[in-house]
C-alpha cells in the first residue's frame, strides 16, 4: 500500500503506534479513506485480518470499507477482514461463542413483532395496564430509550413523556406511572425469554453484560481481536459505549468521529463519547483531520462560522483543499410553492443549459413532510427524483409472510411467526390459529414436522401448511433453495392476497430475496442479519428500500433527503430548505441549551454536503415575525438568540429572491411617535 495518496494528517493517523486513538475527522476530510488506510497498514504490517473488526452504523458503510481494503491489497491476504454494524457484530459474537453468551438459539425480532409482543404483555397485565393512557408503542420507546441511554425509568419517563420537566406535579405523575410501567415491561421481558426472542437492544446488552462482568469473556475475546476500528464515533450512545468500554483492556481502539456532526440524540447518541474520549479511555490520544476535499472555501467559511457561534468549543476550522469558489446563496421566498418553483427552475436550467445531471443535485429538509409541495412541482415539471426512508424491504407484508415460515423452522417457539404463518392460509382466522398453536406448542420442537401439522389441521388448509413447511425443512441447510422452493409453493396465494399491486410492486421483490438469501449459510443468520440491516441492496445499491418514491427507472435523479439521512451524501449543488427562525433551531428546542446545540450540528451537517454550490432557502414571513418578536420590549433572551443566522456576516453569503435581487426594506431614519386614534368619531 502506497502512502503517497494520503496527506500528512492522514498518514499520522494511519501509522499511529500508540494504544488507543480518537481521530477527529471534520466533514469531507477523507475519514473513510483513512480508516481504509489504517486497516490496510495493519494487515500489511502483520496483523491477521480476522483479528481486525470494523464497526459502522450501516451495513453499506461496513461493506464499502472492507471492499476498499481488499482492493488495495494484492492477493487474498485481506479476505478474512470483517466489517459490521454494532448489532450485526453482537449477533456474530453470540453465534461464534454459543457457550460464552448462551443466546445462540434465540430469534431476533423486528419492530412489528416487538409491538405485537408488547400488546400481548399489556393484555397479560390488563389489571394494571387499564390504568395507563399510554400506547404499547410508547412503552417500547420508553424501554428502549432507558436502555440505550443507560438511564433509569423515572428519567426516561421525564424525557419522553414530560419533555424533561422537573417540578412537583410532573414528579407526582411519574411516581404514579413508574410502578405500572415496571410491571408491563417485566411482563414483556418475560414473554421474550419464554419464546426465545431477542430485540435489537438485547443483542448489545447480552454481549456488553458478559464482557463487563466476566473476566474470562474478556480473555477469550482478547485472543480473537487485536484492533477495533469504529466509524462515526460521535453517533454512539451510552449502551454502545457500555459495549465498547471493556475493549480498552482487550485490544486497541481506533475511533473516528466528529463531535460537530453528532445529530442523533433523539435515539440516545451522546457526543460526549467523542468530546470526553481521553478522559474515559486511558492511554489514548487525539489526532485531527482538518483538510476538506469536498467543498470550496466559501462553503466552509459559512460552516466554520456557524460552529464558532457555539458555546461549545469544537476547536475545528476546516480548510478547503480545492480553494475558493462561489459564495453560498440565501434565497428569501414568500411560501413553499415559490420555493419549490425556484428550485425546479434552477435544476432545469442547469440541466438544459449548463450540462449538469439530475444526480448533481441534493435537497435537504428537516422532514420529508415539508418537501410535499416540492415533490408535487417536480412531478408537474417531470424532474426525476428519489426520496429515502420508511419501511425497509424485509418489513414489507408480503416478504414477512414468507419469512414467517422460515422463522418457525429456525425457532419452533416463535409464536408471532406461527400466528402469521397459520393465518396467511385462506380459511384460518386468528381463533383457529390460536387453537392450532396451543397444540403445536404442546409437543417438543423435534416432533414438529409437516406430517404432524397436517394431522392437527384438517382439509386443504393442513395440506397447504404442510407444503410450505416441507419446502423449507427439506432445504434447511441451503437458504437460497429454501426461499426459492417456498416462494414457488406460496406464489399463487401471495398473488391472490396482494392482487391489487402484485405485478407492479410486490412480485419483483422475490428474485431479490433469493439473491439476498444466497449470502447466508443458515436460516438463523439470514433472518437475523436481514432484520438488523436491509436498507441497502446488493452491490451497495438502494435496492431493498420499500418506500422510496421512484419517478423514473433511470439512474439519473435528484435526491430529496432529510438531514438526518444525509450523512455520507454529497452533491455538486445542495439546497438546504427552510433555514428560517423557529426551524433552525426548532421552536421545540428553545430553553434547552443541549438541544439547541444539536440543532446547530444538524445545520452544520446540511451545509457541509455541498461541493460547489450551496443554496439556502428561508421564508420572509418567518423573518418578519421573528424581527417583530425580537424588537418587542417583552422579548426574552431566548428569543434574541433563537435564530442561527441572526448575526450572520453579510460578506459570507449573497442574498436573492425568486423575483430578483433581495434587498432589505429601508425604514425611516428616525423613530416616530405612534399615530393611533379611535378610527371613528363618537357622534
Q: Are the C-beta atoms of residues 367 and 378 closer than 8 Å to each other?
A: no
Q: Which residues pair with 365 in a beta bridge?
A: 562
Q: What are phi and psi of 600, to 5 degrees?
A: -60, -40
The pLDDT score that the predictor gives to residue 269 is 65
* Nearest-5° Cα angle at 58, 57 to 60: 145
678 found inside a domain: no
The span from the CA of 253 to the CA of 415, in Å, is 41
The pLDDT score that the predictor gives to residue 630 is 65
Report the pLDDT averaged over residues 212-223.
94
| HSE of 75, CA atoms in CB hemisphere, 13 A | 5
- Give the model's confidence band at 545: pLDDT under 50 very low, under 70 low, under 90 confident, else very high: very low
CATH of the domain at 499: 1.10.486
Q: Hey, how many other C-beta atoms are within 10 angstroms of the C-beta on 589?
A: 17
The span from the CA of 280 to the CA of 268, in Å, is 18
25 is in an annotated binding site: yes
Is there a single domain that holds both residue 401 and residue 524?
Answer: yes
Report the pLDDT averaged over residues 638-653.
80
Virtual CA dihedral for 393, 395, 397, 398, nearest 10 degrees? 40
437 found inside a domain: yes
Structural domain that includes position 464? 393-535
28 is in an annotated binding site: yes
160 found inside a domain: yes
Is there a single domain that holds both residue 94 and residue 124?
Answer: no
Range in 182-196, 204-218, 264-278, 437-451 the model is least confident about: 264-278
For the entire predicted model, the pTM comes to: 0.73
569 found inside a domain: yes
Percent of the chain with pLDDT over 90: 54
- Give the model's confidence band at 231: pLDDT under 50 very low, under 70 low, under 90 confident, else very high: very high
The pLDDT score that the predictor gives to residue 664 is 54
The span from the CA of 238 to the CA of 268, in Å, is 7
The pLDDT score that the predictor gives to residue 657 is 87
Is there a single domain that holds both residue 283 and residue 296?
Answer: no
Percent of the chain with pLDDT over 70: 89
Q: Is 117 left (phi over 0), alpha (psi -120 to 50) or beta?
A: alpha
Q: Give tens-digit pLDDT for 474-487.
A: 998 899 999 999 99
The pLDDT score that the predictor gives to residue 553 is 42
31 is in an annotated binding site: yes
Range in 157-166, 415-424, 519-528 the model is least confident about: 519-528
47 is in an annotated binding site: no
Virtual CA dihedral for 129, 132, 136, 138, nearest 10 degrees? -150
The pLDDT score that the predictor gives to residue 665 is 58
**539, containing H or E segment:** none
> Cα 198 to the chain's mean position, in Å?
20
26 is in an annotated binding site: yes
The span from the CA of 397 to the CA of 403, in Å, is 10
Residue bearing the bigger pLDDT, 659 or 121: 121
Is there a single domain that holds both residue 223 and residue 271?
Answer: yes
Report the pLDDT averaged over residues 547-566.
66
- Give the model's confidence band at 549: pLDDT under 50 very low, under 70 low, under 90 confident, else very high: very low
Q: Are the C-beta atoms of residues 9 and 194 closer than 8 Å to each other?
A: no
The pLDDT score that the predictor gives to residue 26 is 86
Range in 169-178, 304-313, 393-402, 512-521 the model is least confident about: 512-521
The pLDDT score that the predictor gives to residue 317 is 87
30 is in an annotated binding site: yes
The pLDDT score that the predictor gives to residue 428 is 92
670 found inside a domain: no
Report the pLDDT averaged over residues 404-425.
93
Is there a single domain that holds both residue 38 and residue 93?
Answer: yes
Report the pLDDT averaged over residues 233-245.
91
Nearest to 299, CA basis, from 606, 583, 597:
606
**What is the number of domains present in the chain?**
4
Is there a single domain that holds both residue 464 and residue 510?
Answer: yes
Residue 678 burial (CB < 10 Å; 0-12/13-18/19+)? exposed
The pLDDT score that the predictor gives to residue 349 is 94
User: What single DSSP character describes residue 643?
Assistant: -
Is there a single domain that holds both residue 122 and residue 147?
Answer: yes
Residue 669 burial (CB < 10 Å; 0-12/13-18/19+)? exposed
Q: Hey, how many other C-beta atoms are within 10 angstroms of the C-beta on 190?
A: 12
205 found inside a domain: no
Nearest to 478, CA basis, from 531, 520, 430, 525:
520
Is there a single domain that holds both residue 67 and residue 131?
Answer: no
**Helix 397-410 vs helix 415-424: crossing angle, to nearest 10:** 120
Report the pLDDT averaged over residues 324-331.
95
Q: How many residues does the chain have?
A: 683
Is there a single domain that holds both residue 264 and residue 301?
Answer: no
> Cα 349 to the chain's mean position, in Å?
34
667 found inside a domain: no
Reduce the secondary structure of 145-210 to three states and give it as a string: HHHHHCCCHHHHHHHHHHCCCCCHHHHHHHHHHHHHHHHHHHHHHHHHHHCCEECHHHHHHHHHHH
The pLDDT score that the predictor gives to residue 542 is 31
Is there a single domain that holds both residue 86 and residue 215?
Answer: yes
The pLDDT score that the predictor gives to residue 163 is 80
Ordered DSSP codes for 647-671? T--GGG-EEEETTEE--PPPPPSSP
Q: Give tens-digit pLDDT for 174-201.
A: 999 999 999 999 999 999 999 999 999 9
Is there a single domain that holds both residue 266 and residue 318?
Answer: no
On average, the pLDDT of the chain sits at: 86
Report the pLDDT averaged over residues 339-365.
93
46 is in an annotated binding site: no
Query: Does the N-terminal peptide bond of residue 585 adopt cis geometry, omega within 30 degrees of 0?
Result: yes
Q: Give tens-digit pLDDT for 589-604.
A: 877 888 888 899 899 9
Is there a single domain that holds both residue 424 and residue 514?
Answer: yes
The pLDDT score that the predictor gives to residue 3 is 80
Range in 244-248, 537-541, 605-609 the model is least confident about: 537-541
Q: Hey, how many other C-beta atoms are within 10 angstroms of the C-beta on 264?
A: 21
Report the pLDDT averaged over residues 413-436.
92
Residue finishing a domain among 195, 219, 238 = 195
Q: Which residues pair with 320 in a beta bridge?
A: 292
CATH of the domain at 315: 3.40.50.300
634 found inside a domain: no
Amino acid at each position: 500500500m502506497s502512502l503517497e495518496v494520503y496527506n500528512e494528517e492522514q498518514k499520522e493517523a494511519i501509522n499511529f503506534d500508540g494504544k488507543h486513538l480518537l481521530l477527529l475527522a471534520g466533514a469531507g476530510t477523507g475519514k473513510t479513506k483513512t480508516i481504509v488506510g489504517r486497516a490496510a497498514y495493519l494487515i500489511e504490517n502483520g496483523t491477521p485480518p480476522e483479528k481486525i473488526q470494523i464497526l459502522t452504523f450501516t451495513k453499506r458503510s461496513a461493506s464499502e470499507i472492507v471492499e476498499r481494503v481488499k482492493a488495495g491489497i494484492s492477493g487474498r491476504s485481506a479476505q478474512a477482514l470483517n466489517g459490521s454494524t454494532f448489532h450485526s457484530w453482537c449477533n456474530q459474537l453470540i453465534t461464534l461463542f454459543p457457550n460464552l453468551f448462551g443466546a445462540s438459539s434465540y430469534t431476533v425480532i423486528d419492530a412489528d413483532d416487538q409491538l405485537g409482543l408488547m400488546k400481548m404483555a399489556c393484555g397479560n397485565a390488563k389489571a394494571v395496564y387499564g390504568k395507563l393512557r399510554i400506547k404499547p408503542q410508547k412503552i417500547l420507546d420508553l424501554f428502549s430509550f432507558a436502555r440505550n441511554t443507560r438511564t433509569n425509568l423515572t428519567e426516561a419517563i421525564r424525557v419522553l413523556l414530560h419533555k424533561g420537566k422537573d417540578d412537583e406535579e410532573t414528579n407526582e405523575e411519574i411516581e404514579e406511572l413508574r410502578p405500572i410501567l415496571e410491571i408491563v415491561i417485566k411482563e414483556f421481558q418475560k414473554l421474550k425469554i419464554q419464546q426465545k426472542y431477542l430485540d435489537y437492544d438485547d443483542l448489545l446488552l447480552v454481549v456488553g453484560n458478559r464482557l463487563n462482568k466476566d473476566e474470562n469473556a474478556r480473555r477469550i475475546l482478547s485472543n480473537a481481536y487485536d484492533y477495533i476500528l469504529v466509524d462515526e464515533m460521535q453517533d454512539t450512545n451510552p449502551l454502545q459505549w457500555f459495549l465498547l468500554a471493556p475493549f480498552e483492556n482487550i485490544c486497541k481502539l481506533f475511533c473516528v468521529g466528529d463531535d460537530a456532526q453528532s445529530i442523533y440524540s433523539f435515539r440516545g447518541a451522546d457526543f460526549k463519547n467523542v468530546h470526553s474520549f481521553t478522559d474515559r479511555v486511558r492511554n489514548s490520544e487525539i489526532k485531527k483531520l482538518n483538510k476538506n476535499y469536498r467543498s470550496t472555501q466559501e462553503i466552509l467559511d459559512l460552516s466554520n462560522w456557524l460552529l464558532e457561534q457555539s458555546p461549545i468549543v469544537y476547536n475545528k476550522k476546516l480548510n478547503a483543499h480545492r480553494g475558493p469558489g462561489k459564495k453560498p446563496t440565501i434565497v428569501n421566498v414568500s411560501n413553499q410553492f415559490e420555493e419549490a418553483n425556484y428550485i425546479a427552475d434552477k435544476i432545469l436550467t442547469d440541466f438544459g443549459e449548463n450540462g449538469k445531471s439530475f444526480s448533481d443535485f441534493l435537497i435537504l429538509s428537516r422532514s420529508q413532510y415539508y418537501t410535499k409541495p416540492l415533490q408535487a412541482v417536480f412531478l408537474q415539471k417531470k424532474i426525476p427524483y428519489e426520496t429515502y426512508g420508511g419501511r425497509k424491504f424485509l418489513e414489507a407484508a408480503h416478504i414477512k409472510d414468507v419469512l414467517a415460515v422460515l422463522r418457525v423452522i429456525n425457532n419452533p417457539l416463535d409464536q408471532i411467526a406461527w400466528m402469521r404463518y397459520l393465518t396467511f392460509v385462506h380459511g384460518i382466522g386468528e381463533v383457529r390459529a390460536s387453537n392450532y398453536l396451543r397444540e403445536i406448542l404442546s409437543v417438543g420442537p423435534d416432533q414438529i414436522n409437516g406430517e404432524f401439522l397436517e394431522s392437527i389441521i384438517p382439509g386443504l388448509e393442513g395440506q397447504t401448511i404442510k407444503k410450505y413447511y416441507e419446502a423449507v425443512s427439506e432445504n434447511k441447510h441451503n437458504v437460497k433453495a429454501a426461499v426459492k422452493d417456498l416462494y414457488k409453493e406460496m406464489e399463487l396465494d401471495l398473488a391472490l392476497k396482494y392482487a391489487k399491486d402484485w405485478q407492479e410492486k410486490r412480485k419483483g421483490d422475490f428474485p431479490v430475496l433469493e439473491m439476498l438469501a444466497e449470502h447466508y449459510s443458515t436460516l438463523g443468520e439470514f433472518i437475523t442479519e436481514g432484520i438488523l440491516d436491509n436498507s441497502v441492496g446488493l452491490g451497495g445499491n438502494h435496492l431493498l428500500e420499500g418506500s422510496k418514491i421512484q419517478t423514473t427507472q433511470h439512474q439519473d435523479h435528484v435526491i430529496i433527503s432529510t438531514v438526518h439521512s444525509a450523512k455520507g451524501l454529497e452533491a455538486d449543488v445542495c439546497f438546504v430548505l427552510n433555514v428560517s427562525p423557529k426551524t433552525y433551531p426548532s421552536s421545540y428546542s428553545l430553553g434547552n441549551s443541549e438541544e439547541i446545540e444539536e440543532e446547530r450540528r444538524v445545520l452544520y451537517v446540511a451545509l457541509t454536503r455541498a461541493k460547489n454550490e450551496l443554496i439556502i432557502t428561508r421564508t420572509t414571513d418567518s423573518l418578519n415575525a421573528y424581527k417583530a418578536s425580537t424588537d418587542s420590549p417583552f422579548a426574552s433572551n431566548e428569543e434574541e438568540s433563537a435564530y442561527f443566522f441572526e448575526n450572520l456576516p453579510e460578506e459570507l453569503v449573497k442574498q436573492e429572491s425568486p423575483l430578483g435581487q433581495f434587498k432589505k426594506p429601508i425604514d425611516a431614519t428616525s423613530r416616530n411617535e405612534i399615530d393611533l386614534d379611535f378610527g371613528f368619531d363618537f357622534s
